[in-house]
Amino acid sequence: MSSSSPSASARIRLGSAPDSWGVWFPEDPRQTGWERFLDEVAEAGYEWIELGPYGYLPTDPVRLAEETGRRGLKVSAGTVFTGLHHGPAVWEQTWEHVSRIAGLTRATGAGHLVVIPSFWRDDKTGAVLEDSELTTEQWRLLARQTERLGREVRDRYGLRIVVHPHADTHIDTPEHVARFLDATDPELVSLCLDTGHYAYCGGDSVKLIETYGERLGYLHLKQVDPRILAEVVADGVPFGPAVARGVMCEPPGGVPDLEPVLAAARALGTELFAIVEQDMYPCPPDRPLPIARRTRTYLRSCGL
């Protein structure tokens, strides 16, 4: 899109993702099949998608291009999972995972790689895997290793990493997000703001955009049900079971209000993707499409 476009609102490209079809894993009998996902996301009127978990969509670039192209779909980003606070010891294993996905992402013509930190407790069983707070040394390792990842991904694949604060990870609350951003190089590390996860962890998305706007590289649009959120926080429920309870809800029924979030993002005057994600794992196969249609209509009413 031309940077000379007179409308700042035109600089936000709207899309959706496998997540909004209940997809969390490369293979799972309770998930929507990938062909149906592609058919329905196009039917709902979206043009942009993410790859979702590696192996869910075809990993052969030629076949993937055929399947997306004939449905009029384009890819905005791939997604990787990392535990970079463990330091250089995990680098080779991490890079093996990242390089496969970065290669496929580049082949689609996308420009972003969404980086999700590893969970400190298991999202299915709730088992505590490590301390929920990082030590000072682990914060240092996380910052340096993420910068290394950003540099390698940029230099080898021409992609920009956007780090995704996420519930039940070490980059979650406003304090942790600020600490991470303050410790990393803006030239190498940008932010994927997920409005639902940030609200889940007590954050104000508008305030974050106004404070760290120059770091914002990507948006995930999502809402939480405040009533269910209060229950899962009070009960110490892990993220996976919280999703099963319906903590992530259909807009505009939850928080944050997305219209001011989008207004704050538009005010930055930069090009952004805004990808709809409504965590719904597991969900009945007929549920996602009607929600996707309604959500797209709602977001268009917000100026997208």
* Number of domains comprising the chain: 1
Query: Average pLDDT in the 109-115 region?
Result: 98
Is the predicted pLDDT of residue 191 greater than 90, yes or no? yes
Residue 64 belongs to a domain: yes
Residue 151 belongs to a domain: yes
List of residues 6+ apart from 236 with CB closer than 8 A: none
Residue 4 pLDDT level (bands cut at 50, 70, 90):
very low
Residue 201 belongs to a domain: yes
Residue 1 belongs to a domain: no
Residue 249 domain boundaries: 8-301
What is the tens place of the pLDDT at every residue in 233-279? 999 999 999 999 999 999 999 999 999 999 999 999 999 999 999 99
Residue 107 belongs to a domain: yes
52 within 8 A of 79, measured Cβ to Cβ: yes
Is the predicted pLDDT of residue 9 greater than 70, yes or no? no
List of residues 6+ apart from 251 with CB closer than 8 A: 221, 223, 258, 278, 295, 298, 299
81 within 8 A of 116, measured Cβ to Cβ: yes
What is the tens place of the pLDDT at every residue in 201-241? 999 999 999 999 999 999 999 999 999 999 999 999 999 99
17 within 8 A of 276, measured Cβ to Cβ: yes
Report the CATH number at residue 118.
3.20.20.150
Measured in residues, the chain has a length of 304
Residue 2 belongs to a domain: no
Between CA 43 and CA 37 the distance in angstroms is: 10
DSSP 160-218: EEEE---TTBSS-SHHHHHHHHHHS-TTT-EEEEEHHHHHHTT--HHHHHHHHGGGEEE
